[in-house]
Amino acid sequence: MNARSLFSGRHSVSDIHPAAIATVVVLIAYPTFASDFFVFQIGAYSLILGTIALSLMMLAGYGGMVSLAQMTVAGLAGYLVAILGDNSVEVMGLDWPWWLFVPTAILGAALFSAFVGAVAVRTEGIYTIMITLAIAVAFFYLVRQNYVLFNGWTGFAGVEPPTLLGVYWRDPVPFYYLSLAVAGFFFLAVLYASRSTFGLGLQAIRDNPRRMRALGYNVTLHRIVAYFLSGLIAATAGVLFVWFNGRISSGSVGVGIVIDILVIAVIGGIRHPVGPFLGALAFVLLENFAIDLIDRERFNTVIGVAFLLVVLFSPDGLIGIWHRIRPRLRIGGSTRSKSGRVERVDRHAAGSLEQT
């Protein structure tokens, strides 16, 4: 799988796993054989949710900080797009040009993420989850009650992506490629960052903050920067998210979807950037097709049970399941001992879901 070859640290062209190339080819060729529904509602939506979950994966997997405010950051970016750009609700809508409001929205939301980080990083573990959850909910109640800026319960509708180069970007195929480009860019960026000095420092801080502090690293600053970078990812996905829906309201940043992002990241696996996208695909497929199996009303039970099973039986999510069955499929594989060692080391990491 592409996961392994990219994870190993070396990356020359010959090192790229055939499966990675095949995946890229399938992703690019996808609209040629899929219907509009599958391209837009399944493909693009999975990529957007996957990108938001990717920002959580980066924080949780490399930084050991489980933030539940990632959807809030994405939602703030979406709100900023509706407020600074144009909407059909006659509230706000400053009508800035897109090249101004898109960077402003992303940067503004990323700064908010850094602020969330600054509040949360002073504490650790379960505290981080609680604080970020509290921030997420405070934001939800704020946008629901505030009519001057956020237009309360109803929020904004008619938020359209700009028409550029003669292309209407909300058509399924262009929008899919836009989402794919964003998702692909951040996927590679997170992979690259994880091997950079900064990323390695972050992982070392996750494993042993006291030692890193003793070595002279500014642990708090590292963590806040990680929040800022993850905010950039979530915010960019948030801009796509509001264009995808064409609307944003308090429900878009509600507790349900905030937790869904965590569910997605955990179902996929938070060890590797591929995880969130696998999780998002599984989530979107379940969301769309679980109704064929059971009553639509009981979707939450299905997703809850799926989540519970994954947490209980495969702490590494879907990636973990793959890693566990792979040695059985390939007898005497040369990568086996290596992957075994990697997993043992990770098991002791602070951010690991593995039982210690």
Partner 1 sequence: MRQFIERHTFWAIVIAVVAALFLWLIAAVWPDWLIDALGRKKTFVNTLLNGITLGGLYFLVASGFTLVFGLMRNVNLAHGSMYLLGAYIGYEVAEASGNWFLGLAAAFVAIGLSGMLLQVLVFRRMEGDDLRQTLVTIGISIIAADLMLAVWTGTTYQFQPPEWLFGAASLPVVSVIKASGDPVYIKYPVYRLSVLFVAVAVGIGLWLFLNRTRVGMMIRAGVNDREMLSATGVNVQLVFALVFAIGAGLAGFAGVVGGTALSIAPGEDLRYLLASLIVVIVGGLGSVTGAAIGALLIGLAEQFGLAYFPTYGVVLTFLIMVVVLAVRPQGIMGER
Binding site for partner 1 (CB under 8 A): 66, 119, 122-123, 125-127, 129-131, 133-135, 137-138, 141-142, 145-148, 255, 259, 262-263, 266, 297-298, 300-301, 303-305, 307-308, 311-312, 315, 351, 353, 355-356
259: its two tokens: 């937790």
Q: What minimum distance in Å lies between the beta carbon of 289 and partner 1?
A: 18
Backbone angles phi and psi of 168, in degrees to 5? -85, 110
The counts of H helices and E strands in the chain are 17, 4
Nearer to partner 1, 28 or 149 (CB): 149
What are 164's strand-pairing partners?
Answer: 167
348: its two tokens: 């002791």
Nearer to partner 1, 107 or 129 (CB): 129
- Report the phi/psi class of residue 249: left, alpha or beta, with left for phi > 0 and alpha for psi in -120 to 50: beta
Q: What is the DSSP letter of 121?
A: T
Q: What minimum distance in Å lies between the beta carbon of 159 and partner 1?
A: 22
Q: What minimum distance in Å lies between the beta carbon of 344 and partner 1?
A: 17
Please report how many Cα atoms fall inside a 13 Å half-sphere around the Cα of residue 251, on the Cβ side.
6
Q: Which residue has the tokens 């509602």?
A: 41
Q: What minimum distance in Å lies between the beta carbon of 241 and partner 1?
A: 22
Nearer to partner 1, 26 or 305 (CB): 305
Backbone angles phi and psi of 156, in degrees to 5? -120, 145
Q: What minimum distance in Å lies between the beta carbon of 61 and partner 1?
A: 12
226: its two tokens: 């990680």
Q: What minimum distance in Å lies between the beta carbon of 49 and partner 1?
A: 17
Nearer to partner 1, 14 or 355 (CB): 355
Backbone angles phi and psi of 248, in degrees to 5? -145, 135
Nearer to partner 1, 100 or 305 (CB): 305
312 contact partners, CB below 8 Å, separation of at least 6: none
End-to-end CA distance of the chain: 27
Nearer to partner 1, 174 or 315 (CB): 315
